Structure 1
Amino acid sequence: MPPNKQNKMNKRRLGQLQGPAGRKDVKGARKHKTSLSDRLAGYRSHHQQVAMDSLRRLIARPATSIMTILVIAIALALPTGLYVGLNNIDAVSDGWEGAARISLFLKPTVSADQAEALRRNIAERDGVISSDYISPGSALEEFRASSGFGDVLDQLDSNPLPGLIVVTPREANVSVAAVTALQAELGQLPEVDLAKLDMEWLQRLNRITELGRRLTLALAAMLAVGVLLIIGNTIKLAIESRRDEILVVKLVGGTNAFVRRPFLYTGLWYGLGGGVAAWLLVQCGLWWLSSPISELSLSYQSDFHLLGLGFVDTIILWLFAAGLGLLGAWLVVGRELRAIEPR
Structure 2
Amino acid sequence: MARKSTSHVQSAPGHGSRFSLWIYVHLQQLRLTMREIWHTPLTSLMTIGVIGVSLALPAALMVILKNAESVTAEWQNGTQITLYLQKGTSDAEIQALQARIQQNAQVASVRYISPEQGMSEFKALSGFSDAQAYLSDNPLPPVLEVKPRQAFHSTQESEQLLRSLKQESAVQQAKLDIQWVTRLNGIIALARQLVHLLAGFLVIGLMLTVANTLRLYIFNRRAEIEVMKLVGATDGFIQRPFMYLGFWYGAVGGLVAWWLSEVLLLLSERAVTYLAELYDSNFRLVGLGSADGGLLILLGVSLSMGAAWFSVHKHLREIEPQ
Confirm or deny a common fold (TM above 0.5). yes
Query: SS state of the match for residue 303, structure 1?
Result: coil
Report whether the alignment pairs 1:167 with 2:165: no
| 1:73–1:275 contact (8 Å) kept in structure 2 | yes
Q: Structure 2 vs 1, CA of residues 191 and 155 (structure 1 numbering), >3 Å: closer, same or farther?
A: closer
Which consecutive residues of structure 1, in runs of 5 or more, have no partner in the other structure? 1-18, 20-25
Q: Tell me the SS of whatever aligns to 1:324.
A: helix
Q: What corresponds to 1:266 in structure 2?
A: 245
Query: Retained in 2: the 8 A contact 1:243–1:340?
Result: yes
Residue 290 of structure 1, CA deviation: 1.4
Q: Which deviates more from structure 2 when the two are superposed, residues 141-150 or residues 311-320?
A: 141-150
Structure 1 counterpart of 2:288: 309
Q: For the Cα contact (< 8 Å) 1:69–1:274, is it kept in 2?
A: yes
Cα distance in 2 for residues equivalent to 1:242 and 1:313: 37
The structural deviation recorded for 1:45 is: 2.1
SS in 1 for 2:110: strand
* 2:236 counterpart (238, 246, 257): 257
Structure 2 unaligned segments of length 5 or more: list them.
none
Considering Cα pairs closer than 8 Å and 6+ residues apart, tell me whether 1 or 2 has the greater RCO. Answer: 2
Give per-residue Cα distances to partners, 1:242-269, cap 9 Å, x unaligned. 1111111111111111101100110111
CA distance in structure 1 between the partners assigned to 2:197 and 2:26 by the alignment: 36
2:206 to 214, 227, 230: 227
Q: Are 1:131 and 1:167, in contact at CA under 8 Å, matched by a contact in 2?
A: yes
1:14 paired residue number: none
The alignment partner of 1:277 has SS state of helix
Match of 2:163 in 1: 184
Counterparts of 1:235 and 1:257, CA distance in 2: 16
Instruction: Give the whole-Å Cα distance in 2 for the aligned partners of 1:297 and 1:335.
Output: 53
Q: Percent of aligned positions with the same letter in both sequences?
A: 37
How far is the alpha carbon of 1:141 from its aligned partner? 6.5
Once the two structures are superposed, the pairs formed by residues 1-343 of structure 1 within 5 Å of their partners are 35-108=14-87, 110-136=89-115, 139=118, 146=126, 154=134, 161-343=140-322
Which of these two proteins has the greater Rg computed from alpha carbons?
1
**Residue-by-residue CA offset, 1:196-227 (whole Å, 9 max, x unaligned):** 10011011111111111111111111111110
Over the aligned positions, Cα root-mean-square deviation in angstroms equals 2.9
Give the drift of 1:150: 7.6
Q: Is the 8 A contact 1:77 1:281 kept in 2?
A: yes
Instruction: Give secondary structure in 1 for the equivalent of 2:109.
Output: strand
TM-fit CA distance, 1:172: 4.2
Q: Which residue identity is paired with 1:133? A: Y
Q: How far apart are the structure 2 equivalents of 1:38 and 1:138?
A: 85
Q: 1:147, CA displacement in angstroms?
A: 8.5
Cα offset, 1:56, TM superposition: 1.1
* Residues 173-202 of structure 1: per-residue CA shift (max 9 Å, x gap): 333333233223322333323321001101
SS in 2 for 1:66: helix
In 2, the alpha carbon distance for the partners of 1:273 and 1:238 equals: 19
CA contact (8 A) 1:82 1:216 kept: yes
Between 293-302 and 135-144, the greater mean CA deviation after superposition:
135-144
> In the alignment, residue 302 of structure 2 is paired with which amino acid?
G
Counterparts of 1:95 and 1:287, CA distance in 2? 23
Return closer, same or farther for 1:181/1:311 CA change in 2, 3 Å cut-off.
farther
